[in-house]
Amino acid sequence: MHIAVTGNIGAGKTTLTTMLSKHYGWDAQFEDVDHNPYLEDFYADMSKWSFALQIYFLGSRFRQVKEIRESGKNIIQDRTIYEDAHIFAENLNDMNLLSDRDFNNYASVFNLMKSFVSAPDLLIYLKSDVPNLVKKIYKRGREYEASISIEYLSKLNQKYEKWISNYTEGKLLIIEVDDLDFVEKPEDFGFILEKIEAELNGLF
Ligand SMILES: Nc1ncnc2c1ncn2[C@@H]1O[C@H](COP(=O)(O)OP(=O)(O)O)[C@@H](O)[C@H]1O
Ligand SMILES: Nc1ncnc2c1ncn2[C@H]1C[C@H](O)[C@@H](COP(=O)(O)O)O1
């Protein structure tokens, strides 16, 4: 079984992925953040580094897709390859931080890869508004993310809403996380588990 957690920066994907992996004993796949050779430079100069970062994330995410296909294990994944293309790369192009030429080049590689990508059995979308995302990014305290603007997060949130409203590739569970504290409150985590189990009824 393949479950993926999706959502904007700071929504709580890594936290929930870790908790679900421990709770169910599933293997977890995380994003390539700490050893990412471009992320810090990207936040210092988005226009200069956007193409290199997108290619890096695309390769790293495709490696995960391959692993999921080959492993045969139950896997929970922190963010999907769809988000790189349909949320981040598209948004950078909209904001003129990724040129049309580079975006088209990127999109043609992504479209080739897409035929090898299977949708997760369940996609869990953590929906959060921008002030709450800002609070959680601040709480996490990665220095290079201090430059993330409200405008950038708002545009990403708009892209997420559009993408999720058109998502038909598989089962989808939307969780509004702003009034939940699944880190500190076991009942909030229990609420999420109930929703997941209702969606996966029969697969467990
Ligand atoms: N529902 C929540 N309630 C309280 N704190 C949360 C919640 N979700 C995430 N956090 C905190 O917010 C920060 C960002 O969460 P993280 O899981 O890294 O987000 P993401 O992986 O989506 O970027 C972390 O410090 C985490 O502990
Ligand atoms: N495809 C991407 N383009 C730009 N930035 C990206 C992409 N994928 C992830 N990121 C950034 C956003 C955050 O700063 C870190 C980690 O993501 P998070 O949502 O906090 O787990 O990488």
Condensed to tens digits (0 to 9), the pLDDT of residues 88-129 reads 999 999 999 999 999 999 999 999 999 899 999 999 999 999
The CATH homologous superfamily for domain 2-196 is: P-loop containing nucleotide triphosphate hydrolases (3.40.50.300)
Whether 78 is catalytic = yes
**Does the structure's ipTM exceed the value 0.85?**
yes
168 annotated as a binding-site residue: no
Amino acid (one-letter) located at 168:
T
Task: Give the domain ranges of the chain.
Answer: 2-196
Token code pair at residue 25: 């004993």
Q: Is the CB of 56 under 6 A from ligand 2?
A: no
The minimum-distance atom of ligand 1 relative to the CA of 31 is 21
Q: Is the CB of 81 under 6 A from ligand 2?
A: no
Give me the pLDDT at residue 204, please: 61
Mean pLDDT, the chain, rounded, equals 96
**pLDDT mean over 58-73:** 93
Token code pair at residue 149: 């603007």
CB 198 within 8 A of CB 28: no
Residue 52 sits at the vertex; the CA angle it makes with 6 and 41, to the nearest 5 degrees, is 85
Count other Cβ atoms within 10 Å, centred on residue 62: 17
**Ligand 1 mean position, distance from CA 19 (Å):** 11
Residue 28 has pLDDT above 70, yes or no: yes
Give me the pLDDT at residue 202, please: 61
Token code pair at residue 141: 């305290």
